């Protein structure tokens, strides 16, 4: 019976077959996924800090509980307008992007 390959061996094989374009695409995908996860955690943490359930935040913000769940579950990145509504409902702001080019989404009265 053949010995199973280690993770490092599989990774080395994949890298050997990769093109610069496929590596760039993988880096872009990982970067986007990381940003969506970071945003999901920020929304969830702000909601918990405000001592609100998703249902309560839904009533205050006008965003459905299902959408709040998808945002917190990192299922997709919300539109900026949705972030403004969440920031306003949570009386907070969100910083989007890296430290070199951040976009601040402040709490506004909507």
What's the CATH number where 101 sits? 1.10.260.40
Q: How far apart are CA 5 and CA 7, in angstroms?
A: 7
For the cut 60, the answer to whether the pLDDT of residue 108 exceeds it is no
CA angle 58, 60, 62 (to 5 degrees): 55
pLDDT at 68: 98
Domain holding 63, by residue range, is: 19-105
Assess if residue 82 is contained within a domain.
yes
Q: Are 107 and 93 in contact (CB under 8 A)?
A: yes
Assess if residue 78 is contained within a domain.
yes
Q: How confident is the model at residue 102 (pLDDT cuts 50, 70, 90)?
A: low
Q: What is the pTM of this model?
A: 0.73
- What would the mean pLDDT of 54-62 be, rounded to a whole number? 98
As for how many domains the chain has, the answer is: 1
């Amino acid at each position: 019976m053949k010995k199973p390959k280690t993770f490092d061996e599989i990774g080395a094989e994949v890298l050997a077959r990769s093109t610069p374009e496929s590596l760039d695409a993988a880096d872009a995908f990982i970067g986007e996924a990381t940003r969506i996860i970071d945003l999901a955690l920020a929304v969830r943490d702000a909601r918990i800090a405000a001592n609100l359930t998703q249902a309560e935040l839904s009533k205050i913000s006008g965003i459905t509980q299902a959408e709040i769940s998808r945002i917190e579950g990192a299922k997709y990145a919300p539109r900026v307008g949705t972030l403004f509504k969440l920031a306003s409902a949570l009386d907070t702001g969100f910083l989007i992007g890296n430290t070199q080019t951040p976009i601040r989404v402040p709490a506004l009265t909507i």
